[in-house]
Amino acid sequence: MSEAALVVRGVHVEHRRRPALDVAELTIAHGETLSIVGPNGAGKSTLLRVLGLLEAPQRGEVWFRGELVTWAPAQLLRLRRRMAIVFQDPLLCRTTVARNVSLGLEFRGVDRHERRQRVGEWLERLGIAHLADRPAHRISGGEAQRASLARAFVLQPEVLLLDEPFSALDPPTRQALAGDLQQLLAETQTSTVFVTHDRDEAVALGNRVAVMLSGTVAQVGSPDDVAQRPANEAVARFFGMDTLFPGVVVDAVAGTATIAVGALRFSAASSFQPGQAVWACLRSEDVSIHVSGSVAAPSEWNVAAGTVSAMKSWGTQVRVAVDCGVTVTALTTRLAASGLALKPGRAVRVAFSPHSIHTIPRGS
């Protein structure tokens, strides 16, 4: 276990006699960033408190760098000093930005010269050196969260825990800070647990992603595995697979399965065999829409005729539902939708590659 920063095994937590967390096993490897993603109430913050040694489980084991946590007060204090945590709210004291960043070092007895050097370095790396003498209560939300991150990184923690640190920020600030954090984690190789409900953030920041649903870890894997190859229907729906066909494999040849969905037949890159009931999962961004006279889909793609049943705009994009006997959802831009004159009732064809279909056993 020495190679792992943190390990939990058989951890069970109850709140008010109701299960809040039930994790068979989860490992955070040394130097990796593990994103924990899931909807509100999935148990993400409870798991983070257990990993941060802030909440003891009713049963199960927590290991920190090969050491079993006994929850003895002296041990907890010693191990917590090897960690740092950043919460959703920055929780800065009413003093200067530089003093806020320095506080943890002061508590640890680091001498003044080294404190000044390390604080200056991290203020610079997080782009807030010009705010060093500014009162912390007079800076913006994004600047405050940068100060909070600097306060954590300056401690040179062996484990960094991040509890939805961007959720209170506006989109441009959030995107800029996430990009800077991604670079810092890559440079420092700090073992990190990043909790979020945002799928895109989880995929962007994590070397691995753990999906939490109803207090359990439903899937752990690389960002590509989780986003493109969800383990079950619940993960597929959470991770934005807009179209799930309940189908049956009717033919299989050389890694390509033919799936019957009602009267329709679709080809999918799949190892499932004839007779197996499956979910055929499809992301909306992998579906193209065609009308008479528009560019044809490649000949090997699946094509189905239908009519537009609904359209929903979000920013510069439009989500289009097409009734083909089953509903297929496509994502396009406002400009493209306008150019195709898309509207409810419009006859169209949808097309998608067999390689864009991910198959899951039904009932998994």
At 34-70, the pLDDT tens digits run 999 999 999 999 999 999 999 999 999 999 999 999 9
Please state the pTM of the whole predicted model. Answer: 0.89
Q: Where in the chain is the domain with CATH 2.40.50.100?
A: 242-361
| Mean pLDDT value across the chain | 93
**Predicted local distance difference test score (pLDDT) of residue 2:** 46
Q: What is the mean pLDDT of residues 343-359?
A: 95
Instruction: Please choose, from the candidates 62, 52, 48, 84, the residue with its C-alpha nearest in 3D space to the C-alpha of residue 4.
Output: 62
Please report which confidence band the pLDDT of residue 168 belongs to, taking 50, 70 and 90 as the band edges: confident
In CATH, which superfamily holds the domain spanning 4-237? P-loop containing nucleotide triphosphate hydrolases (3.40.50.300)
List all residues 6 or more positions away from 33 whose beta carbon is below 8 Å from its beta carbon.
Answer: 185, 191, 192, 193, 194, 205, 206, 207, 208
CATH topology of domain 242-361: OB fold (Dihydrolipoamide Acetyltransferase, E2P) (2.40.50)
Per residue in 180-211, pLDDT tens? 999 999 999 999 999 999 999 999 999 999 99
DSSP structure string for 149-188: HHHHHTT--SEEEEESTTTTS-HHHHHHHHHHHHHHHHHH
- Asked whether the predicted pLDDT for residue 28 surpasses 50, the reply is yes
Q: Where in the chain is the domain with CATH 3.40.50.300?
A: 4-237
**Predicted local distance difference test score (pLDDT) of residue 295:** 67
Per residue in 100-118, pLDDT tens? 999 999 999 999 999 999 9
